[in-house]
Structure 1
Amino acid sequence: METVTIIVPVFNAGPYLEPCLDSILAQTYQQLEIILVNDGSTDGSAQICEDYRAKDPRVRVIHKKVGGSGVGAARNTALPLVTGDYVLFVDNDDWLEETHVESLYRALKEQDADISIGNFTEYIDDRGAFRFHLQGEDYFQKVLTPAEWFDYQYDARQGFSQVFTVPWTKLYKAELFQDIVYPEDEKVEDDYTTWKLYLLADKLVYSHAGTYFHRKRSTSVTKTVDTVQVFPLRSIQERVTILSLIGFDVAAELRAYRWRLQLHRDSLLEAGQMQDYQKCLTLIKILDKWT
């Protein structure tokens, strides 16, 4: 059997870490390598990592000396240590249906794909309720080229746009990560990275099933950082450039870029950062003139 490496960045996960790790150990696909990167936790998460290493030989633990460096740095720490054939990411407060890895793996192998993508079920922690959950009758599967998958990037229905951006809910061939580096100086790193993995792939398979359970908390990164950090300019500028050079249709990207410019313009003005505000204003004026 081929090995799937599961990478879990860990930072002060509190009561959520054990359910997360239990769901990983209970996977029906058992040929796993589990890398836990403890990012200097101070709440007992480090001990939980050690307890799981002691109980299961598939678990490896890396303790970072400098804590709080972020999930991008944690992933960068883990990726050179991967010995598996495939890579899958799990956030330390989420959990998996027991067939999550097996279903993604089966779809990838059956379709000879490079990345197997699934959807997710969203759980609102503060309310103790699921926002949406895909049922068995909702299931479908599609084989896609990277260009076809980019059509889902701004589709908000049933979480498609979030599925496109996040690193989890996916099984990747490990070789795709050979030169991938997650940014370590950004609050939200996936907008800079996940799309590049799609372009390095030749074939993708999407399975419309929510076997990954994503916990939304009031302390989640996307809840505690500014909206402009969730929708950065530099990442979409890079994306538009690359997609243009390889001949993709960038009309949707350009609309999104204009929207992000307006978002940054308003935020910068409110914050009194006038030079950066004027830079955004100039770009918007140029776009208004020529498009």
Structure 2
Amino acid sequence: MGGGTDRPGVSVVVPTHDSGPHLDPLVTSLGRQGLPPGGYEVIFADDGSTDDTPQRLDELAAADPRHVRVLHLEHSGWPSRPRNLGVEAARGEYVFFADDDDWFGDDALARLLTCAREHDADIVIGRIVGHGRGVPRELFRGNRFGVNLANAPLSDSMTCHKLFRRSFLARHGLRFPEGRPRRLEDHRLVAEAYVLAERVCVLADHPCYHHVRRSDAGNVTATRMDPAEYYAALRAAMDVVDAHEPPEAARLRLHRRWLRQEALDRLRGRRALAAPEPWLEQVVREVGPLVRDRFAPEAVAGVPPLYRVTAHLAEQGRVADLRRLAEWEVGVRACATVDRWTVAGRTLTIDLSAHLAAGDEPLRFDGRGLPVLPVAGAEPPGGAAMRAGGARTDVVVRRRETREEFFLPVTTTTERVPTDGGAGDQVLHRTTATVDFATLSRGRTRGGWEVRARVIQAGWALDSRLPLVVRCATDGGVPRVEDTRRPHSRLRRAVRRIRRALRRTARTGDRSPDRPAGSRR
């Protein structure tokens, strides 16, 4: 709302526990949200901290009582209760749930609130930037207004870091589950909210929320989960959704998301190999019956081929074969080659070729477009009905300074290329991408940009960094492309390193080990 009103536009609810200095980036970012005085409030719900966090929060509230309030709570050990009590205390038109070690992008709350009001949205999802953790990609391909589970990949984002209309939460009694099971408490609230919401918006053209995995693994959910508890929580989340009897398309999107990311991804590649053998066996014991009993055949049939193979092996309890498949999969990678690039005005065009490789050899696909796997009998019954469609290459630019990512418009064709020896063919992707740096990121293009190809096929979505670095001296300026394959590019980088070293020496002086500080040549 406007300045001077008693009701803020946004209430930010932040659960804290022994947050210490990890809280500082969030606090600093709150002063750059583009809202007028009184336009927002922050409710810190402290879950019985034992360090100096309560005192730090009280000092923040004393310094800015108009915008900051603190709830001192008994320790519950999980964010659910602090978030629920924070919502009860909130006065804002909308509520945003933030974590104590994350932070907001500049003007994020103002943009989210404007979007919510203009589109009368119950939920607005702002672009998330990951720091040490994965974030949704397909969801943020572009802005989406007035969408729902059935027509947009909302299920890609199941954390609670979103803007919710407070009256919408109250009307439906939406609260985070307290008590056990504790895991996936975000999913239970967010999934039910998606099913009940009339309008959801996605604000993809502005970095709104920076999501962090702390280097000290201090996030409360960073510890290894107990498989029995975790999958009991997943069943509870599925029960909540199914009780509402949502449209079939919405239910399948949620179920397939949970099947892929909460169940099968834990049994693939590096995640499987990094897991202790007894723990992996426990996961398989939970996932196998879950696939058989809770996921309808059409849900399983709708996931990419490699996921179907993993589900089949889990159902049969074939832990050794899952490990064998994981050992092979860690060698699967994306390979991309820039065939040509040009700049015309402020528009960059890139032609590239890409494919998947297994070790040093191209990955092979059979006549149906399914990967040739190293595990016998891995294909589930009815596997001939599987389809490997959707093979494509996306091209993404990432701003070096902020880690923001943007998809570029592309055209892609695929062709089968016979390989020497063995069964199966290579699938080659030929892609053309274009980007206008006058309009990319709403013209905010100053700085350096990396370019990546993302090869998507059969259940893999793998990145290959291209040998191009794009630099813009000003926002919306002419892009200058550095092709790191060219000798003169390597020479320029070496010259820049030498110049930086000389500048540092000029500032600090040469303090070699046998020369006392302060002496000069």
TM-score by length of 1: 0.77
1:1-291 alignment to 2 at 5 Å?
Answer: 1=2, 3=8, 4-30=10-36, 31-57=39-65, 58-64=67-73, 66-124=74-132, 140-148=142-150, 151-153=153-155, 161=156, 164-168=157-161, 170-178=162-170, 179-184=173-178, 185=180, 186-208=182-204, 209-217=206-214, 218-226=217-225, 228=227, 232-239=233-240, 241-242=242-243, 245-249=245-249, 250-256=251-257, 270-271=281-282, 280=290, 283=293
Q: Which amino acid letter does the alignment assign opposite residue 26 of structure 2? A: C
TM-aligned CA deviation for residue 104 of structure 1: 0.4
TM-aligned CA deviation for residue 237 of structure 1: 2.5
Provide, for residues 109-145 of structure 1, a one-character-per-residue CA deviation record: whole Å limited to 9, x for no partner. 22222222111111239xxxxx8899xxx88421133
TM-aligned CA deviation for residue 108 of structure 1: 1.4
Tell me if the contact between 2:149 and 2:253 (Cα under 8 Å) persists in the aligned partners. Answer: no
Q: Take 1:255 and 1:285, find their aligned partners in 2: how far apart are those partners?
A: 8
Tell me if the contact between 2:191 and 2:237 (Cα under 8 Å) persists in the aligned partners. Answer: no
Which stretch of the first structure deviates more once superposed, 230-239 or 72-81? 230-239
How many residues are matched?
270
Q: Take 2:296 and 2:141, find their aligned partners in 1: how far apart are those partners?
A: 45
Q: Take 1:45 and 1:92, find their aligned partners in 2: how far apart are those partners?
A: 11
Tell me if the contact between 1:20 and 1:95 (Cα under 8 Å) persists in the aligned partners. Answer: yes
Q: Which amino acid letter does the alignment assign opposite residue 172 of structure 1? A: F
Tell me if the contact between 2:78 and 2:220 (Cα under 8 Å) persists in the aligned partners. Answer: no
Q: Take 1:272 and 1:88, find their aligned partners in 2: how far apart are those partners?
A: 33
TM-score by length of 2: 0.45
Q: Take 2:96 and 2:296, find their aligned partners in 1: how far apart are those partners?
A: 42
Cα separation, partners in 2 of 1:258 and 1:82, compared to 1, 3 Å: closer
Structure 1, unaligned runs of 5 or more: 126-130, 154-160
Cα separation, partners in 2 of 1:222 and 1:143, compared to 1, 3 Å: same
Q: Take 2:288 and 2:136, find their aligned partners in 1: how far apart are those partners?
A: 44
Q: Which has the higher contact order (CA 8 A, sep 6+)?
A: 1
Provide, for residues 94-119 of structure 1, a one-character-per-residue CA deviation record: whole Å limited to 9, x for no partner. 11122010010111122222222111
| Equivalent position SS for 2:69 | strand
Q: Which has the larger radius of gyration?
A: 2
Tell me if the contact between 1:5 and 1:88 (Cα under 8 Å) persists in the aligned partners. Answer: yes
TM-aligned CA deviation for residue 240 of structure 1: 5.1
Structure whose residues are more often strand by fraction: 2
Structure whose residues are more often helix by fraction: 1
TM-aligned CA deviation for residue 235 of structure 1: 3.5
Tell me if the contact between 1:11 and 1:68 (Cα under 8 Å) persists in the aligned partners. Answer: no
Cα separation, partners in 2 of 1:123 and 1:200, compared to 1, 3 Å: same
Q: What residue number does 1:156 align with?
A: none
Q: Take 1:286 and 1:107, find their aligned partners in 2: how far apart are those partners?
A: 37
TM-aligned CA deviation for residue 149 of structure 1: 5.7
Q: Which amino acid letter does the alignment assign opposite residue 223 of structure 1? A: A
Q: Which amino acid letter does the alignment assign opposite residue 177 of structure 1? A: L
TM-aligned CA deviation for residue 25 of structure 1: 3.3
Q: Take 1:48 and 1:235, find their aligned partners in 2: how far apart are those partners?
A: 37
TM-aligned CA deviation for residue 62 of structure 1: 0.7
Cα separation, partners in 2 of 1:144 and 1:46, compared to 1, 3 Å: same
Cα separation, partners in 2 of 1:103 and 1:258, compared to 1, 3 Å: closer
Provide, for residues 22-58 of structure 1, a one-character-per-residue CA deviation record: whole Å limited to 9, x for no partner. 2113321131121111111112111110010010012
TM-aligned CA deviation for residue 173 of structure 1: 1.1
Cα separation, partners in 2 of 1:252 and 1:173, compared to 1, 3 Å: closer
Q: Take 1:286 and 1:165, find their aligned partners in 2: how far apart are those partners?
A: 21
Cα separation, partners in 2 of 1:279 and 1:70, compared to 1, 3 Å: same
Tell me if the contact between 2:150 and 2:253 (Cα under 8 Å) persists in the aligned partners. Answer: no
Cα separation, partners in 2 of 1:152 and 1:47, compared to 1, 3 Å: same
TM-aligned CA deviation for residue 150 of structure 1: 5.4
TM-aligned CA deviation for residue 247 of structure 1: 2.4
Cα separation, partners in 2 of 1:267 and 1:119, compared to 1, 3 Å: farther
| Equivalent position SS for 2:222 | helix
Q: What residue number does 2:349 align with?
A: none
Give the fraction of aligned pairs with identical amino acids, expressed as a percent.
Answer: 23
Which stretch of the first structure deviates more once superposed, 89-98 or 264-273? 264-273
Tell me if the contact between 2:128 and 2:209 (Cα under 8 Å) persists in the aligned partners. Answer: yes
Q: Take 1:72 and 1:56, find their aligned partners in 2: how far apart are those partners?
A: 26
Q: Which amino acid letter does the alignment assign opposite residue 166 of structure 2? A: A
TM-aligned CA deviation for residue 207 of structure 1: 1.0
